[in-house]
Amino acid sequence: MTLQPNSIEARDVAYHLHSYTNARRHEEVGPIVIESGEGVHVTDTDGKRYIEAMAGLWSVAVGFGEKRLADAASRQMQKLNFYHTFTHKSHQPAIELAEKLIAMAPVKMSKVYFTNSGSEANDTMIKLVRYRANALGQPEKKKIISRIKGYHGVTLASASLTGLVNNHRAFDLPMEGILHTTCPHYWREGHEGESEEDFASRCAADLEAMILAEGPETVAAFIGEPVMGAGGVIVPPKTYWEKIQAVLKKYDILLVADEVICGFGRTGNMFGCQTYGIEPDIMTVSKALSSSYLPISALIINDRVYQPVADQSSEIGTFGHGFTASGHPVAAAVSLENLAIIEEKRLVEHAAEIAPYFQEQLGSLLDHPLVGEVRGVGLIAAVELVTDKKAKVAMQPPGAMAAAAFGLVQANGVISRAIGDCLAFCPPLIVEKEHIDTIVAATRKGLDELKATL
Ligand code: PMP
């Protein structure tokens, strides 16, 4: 593709450095510039319309172009465009949203702390955990265990929690005190003849062995997404979470549920924790909290976390942390309206009702010669691509197959996401059967086109 001089694409190449994008290749191919969105669709500057089968970045739960959210933002901006929450100040949207999140939480929670992105929420979690350890007089109990392929963000600390090579290698990460245990992907990691339940027991045993090797008195917290998202939509094996939680209880280790993707309906319940019987001490939420109409995230913490932090002895000082935009009134007002829409339109119930169709239809791709596994729960799924189903291997180099398939599926009018050797799907919660049919047909066609080139 040659870029027209001064076109919007050429100006993007000239001035804009992108995230997760090969910059040299971008200079050649340029961007697809998305101009507008409505419902499950977005339209680019050439007028081509796509189904956004990833809800943007797993986030636009209520769909694109929701006027109620634009109106909520406008109303709040005209009333109070900004105020902060430092040093005993507050404002109504932050108070109402905090109250709402405590009421919605699946277990008894105590307080909400606002941040602006998933990364900031998880980064703040690490600081809270460290502060709490110092406040409790347990300064050695600060290590955090995460999982291989977990995704928790990209700041130096949250990228350390993330368990992906690409987020570590060139950044001298992970930082000290953050460890990664077994990835609970049964299809990939399970041994020959091992049942799902036995694999879950092995994951829990690996975790326990790590805790014992490090010394339980040094391990403060464990973080996990109920269902792993950006690591490739990895659904935990049966009995996984109950076994993991038993180990954490035994050694007095806090459980942090990263609900940044799962939260607000994705798995067919309001929270992923409910789908898997997880009882967290801390939850981090973002994305569907505002349907990404504005940046906002939050930590929801219980009394085990709050009380020691509240004590704030003179030795350690007040909790010296906070972002200018923490609990931003416009983002909070939009989030409240977004949650009202999710409840009024019964979008969580809708997600639960339509999920079997979504999973079955995507599951039908398993008969395709290039598909090794289709996995998912609720309205999140991944199709794992292989060239040899039995050996479970894909084309070299790693990721090449999914990148090619992604481009073909996108040309067919459906935006998915290539992750490693899989294609991920995570449509807005308002998705209907006819959209699912289009998503699956476009994917099958893309895979047929890919097969023809091999
Ligand atoms: N946690 C999870 C589970 C995520 O999926 C993401 C983003 N994909 C993050 C944290 C980081 O969020 P952000 O990109 O808003 O920093």
Domain end call among 325, 344, 363: 344
Q: How far is the CA of 4 from the centre of ligand 1 (A)?
A: 35
Q: How far is the CA of 167 from the centre of ligand 1 (A)?
A: 13
The CATH number covering residue 431 comes to 3.90.1150.10
**Euclidean distance between CA atoms 426 and 447, whole angstroms:** 19
DSSP line for 47-60:
--EEEETTHHHHT-
Residues 270 and 371 in one domain: no
Q: What is the pLDDT of residues 297-344, one digit of tens each?
A: 999 999 999 999 998 777 888 899 999 999 999 999 999 999 999 999
**Euclidean distance between CA atoms 211 and 253, whole angstroms:** 10
Cis status, amide bond into 174, omega within 30 of 0: yes
In a domain, residue 46? The reply is yes
Q: What is the pLDDT of residues 75-97, one digit of tens each?
A: 999 999 999 999 999 999 999 99
Domain end call among 344, 360, 386: 344
Q: How far is the CA of 56 from the centre of ligand 1 (A)?
A: 13
Q: Determine the structural domain holding residue 423 and report its residue range.
A: 32-62+346-453
Residues 351 and 340 in one domain: no
**Euclidean distance between CA atoms 391 and 394, whole angstroms:** 9
Residues 339 and 351 in one domain: no
Q: How far is the CA of 290 from the centre of ligand 1 (A)?
A: 14
In a domain, residue 355? The reply is yes
Residues 381 and 268 in one domain: no
**Distance between first and last Cα of the chain:** 23
Residues 208 and 328 in one domain: yes
Instruction: Please report, for the chain, how many H helices and E strands are present, in that order.
Output: 17, 15
CB-based pocket (< 6 A), ligand 1: 57-58, 117-119, 122, 151-153, 225, 229-230, 258, 260-261, 286
CB-CB contact of 405 with 446 (8 Å): yes
Write out the chain's pLDDT in tens, 454 residues: 678 999 999 999 999 999 999 999 999 999 999 999 999 999 999 999 999 999 999 999 999 999 999 999 999 999 999 999 999 999 999 999 999 999 999 999 999 999 999 999 999 999 999 999 999 999 999 999 999 999 999 999 999 999 999 999 999 999 999 999 999 999 999 999 999 999 999 999 999 999 999 999 999 999 999 999 999 999 999 999 999 999 999 999 999 999 999 999 999 999 999 999 999 999 999 999 999 999 999 999 999 999 999 987 778 888 999 999 999 999 999 999 999 999 999 999 999 999 999 999 999 999 999 999 999 999 999 999 999 999 999 999 999 999 999 999 999 999 999 999 999 999 999 999 999 999 999 999 999 999 999 9
Ligand 1 atom with the shortest distance to the CA of 258: 3
Residues 307 and 226 in one domain: yes
Q: Which of 146, 262, 287 to mutate to test the pocket of ligand 1 (most atoms within 8 A of CB)?
A: 287
Residues 116 and 80 in one domain: yes
Domain end call among 321, 344, 367: 344
Cis status, amide bond into 5, omega within 30 of 0: no
Q: Which of 260, 261, 290, 296 to mutate to test the pocket of ligand 1 (most atoms within 8 A of CB)?
A: 260
In a domain, residue 3? The reply is no
Residues 154 and 37 in one domain: no
Residues 74 and 120 in one domain: yes
- The stretches of 300-363 forming alpha helices (DSSP H) are 303-311, 329-344, 347-363
What are the φ and ψ backbone dihedral angles of 297, each rounded to 5 degrees? -150, 170
In a domain, residue 212? The reply is yes
**Euclidean distance between CA atoms 29 and 416, whole angstroms:** 19
Q: How far is the CA of 426 from the centre of ligand 1 (A)?
A: 14
In a domain, residue 2? The reply is no
Ligand 1 atom with the shortest distance to the CA of 117: 15
CB-CB contact of 327 with 112 (8 Å): no
Q: How far is the CA of 151 from the centre of ligand 1 (A)?
A: 7
**Euclidean distance between CA atoms 14 and 56, whole angstroms:** 24
Q: How far is the CA of 6 from the centre of ligand 1 (A)?
A: 34
Ligand 1 atom with the shortest distance to the CA of 228: 3
In a domain, residue 11? The reply is no
What strands, in cross-sheet order, belong to the sheet with 34-38? Answer: 34-38, 41-44, 49-52, 414-415
The CATH number covering residue 154 comes to 3.40.640.10
**Bridge-based pairing state of the strands 178-181 and 414-415:** unpaired
Q: Which of 261, 262, 266 to mutate to test the pocket of ligand 1 (most atoms within 8 A of CB)?
A: 261
Residues 324 and 181 in one domain: yes
In a domain, residue 37? The reply is yes
The tally of domains found in the chain comes to 2
Ligand 1 atom with the shortest distance to the CA of 122: 10
**Residues 209, 215, 221, 227, Cα dihedral to 10°:** -10
Q: How far is the CA of 163 from the centre of ligand 1 (A)?
A: 13
Bridge partners, residue 415, by sequence: 52
Q: How far is the CA of 9 from the centre of ligand 1 (A)?
A: 27
State the pTM of this model.
0.98
Ligand 1 atom with the shortest distance to the CA of 287: 15
Residues 367 and 264 in one domain: no
Residues 294 and 370 in one domain: no
Rounded to 10°, the helix 347-363/329-344 angle is 70
